[in-house]
Structure 1
């Protein structure tokens, strides 16, 4: 699989603004049409460095997102929790970590109409960064719309950008070799255990995507096997590592050996 995400690099004054997308797919459904539309829109704002899509695999209507996120090179953050705001809380935590991190986005695009994200937008603006909100008509809170630097309804974007099929060049993602990916996995498991966290697929995948030692890891589809092919899903990568005897799975959690 290929992706639209470009390699992470340190930004200089002469480079384009760095852009990240934070997508609440329970509020704005994840579809191929919406994915292409938002990527095209983001590329008009600067250089797109990451797309994180938050979903709950326990919900039937989230099945499409679960199976197709890596196809587009997006980082899927699965929050399979019955609590109402669990996915929203994870989005907020990741958003704040990114904007206060080593490579904060100059432009953060929040794809949601949920008024609970007002504080996120205000935090972004306090740092002198730009916050753009994209939402569906009839599903947006005025309080969120009022604080955004720019606000657009999803159906307005086709008039603002030229949506075209994602070219191979647009979708090229830096790959991470298999051995480095294994080291990244083990590092993530150790980190989770040291913080008293569970080592489920979703938690480990999230920790790996935030690894400073392995910035090229952007999902299972970026792991290059020794034969030159790539994994189609994160779980297949984990299964391969377990088969080698480097980790073991127990009750859907990863353990060191």
Structure 2
């Protein structure tokens, strides 16, 4: 079974996106405050299944960080190698290996401004993954920043998490109508196509969350009859049936574009 098909099958029972968190400690030194905020942000995006920090125990200041941040229960990946980029290479290998597991992440949160990760981001996106990058002011490569589906500075985490919490609290009592959800669905597909990104279900779902704060998954969509959709696949099937979008091999396309291409 292909990875995309396994993602589709999981969506039938799992409403939350699966999140992988990978932090390059040499590039971004985590503090107790930043670690706490990063994990809050990650959990606001879905179910956090991996939370790895990559470090080199041969560097004294990096070993000390493991003890200082012990309460967060990170998985610390030690790469005690003097060769340049050894920890970076391990991070990239692990992220790509996670793709082929039964619990394949939908969203990857990368904490690093290192331009060496640009290829990783591009490869993850080609596989239908949504990539969020965090870096520090003055320590991020332009290519990495531009490639990311979302980019944020660590220094802005406090305000970012506050906004996420406000959006979630609002969504508890606020719903969007089916027709409004269709509008955001088509906008998300158009955005992905313009960026030459895959239009797989998890990717489009995450784009919709960025376009509409009230949209926190299909449970926030109200059908014309007042009922709720059970999962994203059911919502997509309804949109296809209504002639709003087209679906092919678990990717979504706009009707207008198909007509112009005919």
TM-score of the superposed pair, with normalisation by structure 1? 0.57
Gaps of 5+ in 2: 1-8, 164-262
Which residue of structure 1 lines up, in the alignment, with residue 36 of structure 2?
36
Deviations 1:114-160 (A, max 9, x none): 00001111111111110000000110000101111000001112112
Which residue of structure 2 lines up, in the alignment, with residue 122 of structure 1?
122
Greater RCO (Cα-Cα under 8 Å, separation 6 or more): 1
Q: CA RMSD in A?
A: 1.7
Which residue of structure 2 lines up, in the alignment, with residue 56 of structure 1?
56
Which is richer in helix? 2
SS across alignment from 2:50: strand
8 Å CA contact 1:134, 1:153 repeated in 2: yes
Deviations 1:174-233 (A, max 9, x none): xxxxxxxxxxxxxxxxxxxxxxxxxxxxxxxxxxxxxxxxxxxxxxxxxxxxxxxxxxxx
Q: How many residues align?
A: 154
Equivalent-residue separation in structure 2 for 1:11 and 1:36 (angstroms):
29
1:99 has 2:99 as partner: yes
Which residue of structure 2 lines up, in the alignment, with residue 156 of structure 1?
156
Which residue of structure 2 lines up, in the alignment, with residue 134 of structure 1?
134
Gaps of 5+ in 1: 1-9, 164-257
Which residue of structure 2 lines up, in the alignment, with residue 74 of structure 1?
74
8 Å CA contact 1:108, 1:130 repeated in 2: yes
Equivalent-residue separation in structure 2 for 1:100 and 1:117 (angstroms):
19
Matches within 5 A, 1:91-240: 91-162=91-162
TM-score of the superposed pair, with normalisation by structure 2? 0.56
8 Å CA contact 1:40, 1:162 repeated in 2: no
Deviations 1:11-31 (A, max 9, x none): 443421011101000000022
Shift of 1:54: 0.2
